[in-house]
Structure 1
């Protein structure tokens, strides 16, 4: 009886040893990090990024309206609104700065003036895009500086932009007349590479 169990015991011992060696070799081999395994790609993130530029076209009392008047501070101008002003907009995003260029999306949202000089606002928007084979939307939330660049964190996305993170930079191009134009630069990153996304340049 004891003699017949020895081959089975040896087989079990060999099997355990082989399994142990397999697990040991797997654990000893470090998995490559996203930043080191994609050195051949320009952005170093394995192609899990997307960037492009559009232009926001806003026309006062046509695509953008003040729905609540502010209470103090600066008056109404092309670049200022009184403190507490609530502003809503639904502006086309065009491929070029020219207002007649093809429409590639729409930015719709609201902003509330948060400074007495009328130049700063808290803004939130849904940016819907159909451009370069991509279709979906991103949601952004952040502060607006009316006469200079503003960076908005991307807080969510839908469609082709689901799970995207990153930021949108808006910069004034033309603030003259009833229609104003802003350059709209999107920098998007997807997990697991989103943690390597650079902060917006100053």
Structure 2
């Protein structure tokens, strides 16, 4: 009787080991090179942030030292708030796919670096929800902000959002930023690449 019980236990352990092995093999990223859509594993897409100074974005606290206010710099300690549309192309007239709202605080004396946080609400490619980000940004170079939360179709997502300026000099009072989303879900979450910028 004891031998039969240990045999059943051994078979159960073998079966569980095989299931774990199959799941691990299925979660390997090698078979998914180049996937650019939502497959329950990862999602990559690009939108464009359309910012208009003193209309969709405002400096609410002036900084105290360092660089002055220019198209690319703000003094150390400047607090900036924004609520900008996200469009599918760089042109302002293209379809709106979401909105990004948040704040940034200038954290370098050269006026180029900030600590930024934002909530990005999306309705794009049949997916609805929001992504929250928190991290450092650079005004003139690409910057990666880690994803720290999500809702709706983006619940449990991890990864990063890369922002980079499309035009460094504002046309009138308008500036456009390229926003690249790199999102991952379990079991692929642990394959999310780390930032290189």
TM-score range normalised by the length of the shorter chain: 0.7 to 0.9
Q: How many residues align?
A: 190
Aligned partner of 1:112 in structure 2 is: 105
The structure number with the bigger radius of gyration is 1
2:55 aligned with 1:53, yes or no? no
Aligned partner of 1:42 in structure 2 is: 33
Q: Over aligned residue pairs, what C-alpha RMSD do you find?
A: 2.1
Q: In the aligned structure 2, how far is the partner of 1:111 from the partner of 1:171?
A: 15
Q: 2:190 aligns with which of 171, 195, 200?
A: 195
Partners of 1:71 and 1:85 within 8 A in 2: yes
Q: In the aligned structure 2, how far is the partner of 1:28 from the partner of 1:182?
A: 48
Moved over 4 A (4+): none
Q: In the aligned structure 1, how far is the partner of 2:15 from the partner of 2:22?
A: 16
Cα gap change, 1:53/1:18 in structure 2, threshold over 3 Å: closer, same or farther? same
Q: 2:162 aligns with which of 161, 166, 169?
A: 169
Partners of 2:142 and 2:165 within 8 A in 1: yes
Q: In the aligned structure 2, how far is the partner of 1:28 from the partner of 1:150?
A: 42
Cα gap change, 1:95/1:19 in structure 2, threshold over 3 Å: closer, same or farther? same
Q: TM-score with structure 1 length normalisation? A: 0.86
Q: In the aligned structure 1, how far is the partner of 2:43 from the partner of 2:137?
A: 23
Aligned partner of 1:69 in structure 2 is: 62
Q: In the aligned structure 1, how far is the partner of 2:60 from the partner of 2:40?
A: 42
SS of the residue corresponding to residue 174 of structure 1 reads coil
Shift of 1:35: 5.9
Q: In the aligned structure 1, how far is the partner of 2:185 from the partner of 2:16?
A: 27
Q: 1:103 aligns with which of 92, 96, 121?
A: 96
Tell me, which stretches of 5 or more residues in structure 1 are unaligned?
Answer: 1-11
Cα gap change, 1:164/1:138 in structure 2, threshold over 3 Å: closer, same or farther? same
Q: TM-score with structure 2 length normalisation? A: 0.88
2:71 aligned with 1:82, yes or no? no
Shift of 1:20: 3.8
**Greater Cα offset, 100-109 or 174-183:** 174-183
Q: In the aligned structure 2, how far is the partner of 1:35 from the partner of 1:183?
A: 35
Cα deviation digits, residues 15-66 of structure 1 (max 9, x gap): 425524423532664722656325543369x750001000001010000000
Partners of 1:41 and 1:47 within 8 A in 2: no
Q: Where do residues 140-179 of structure 1 align in structure 2 (5 Å cutoff)?
A: 140-176=133-169, 177=171, 178-179=173-174
Partners of 2:40 and 2:185 within 8 A in 1: no
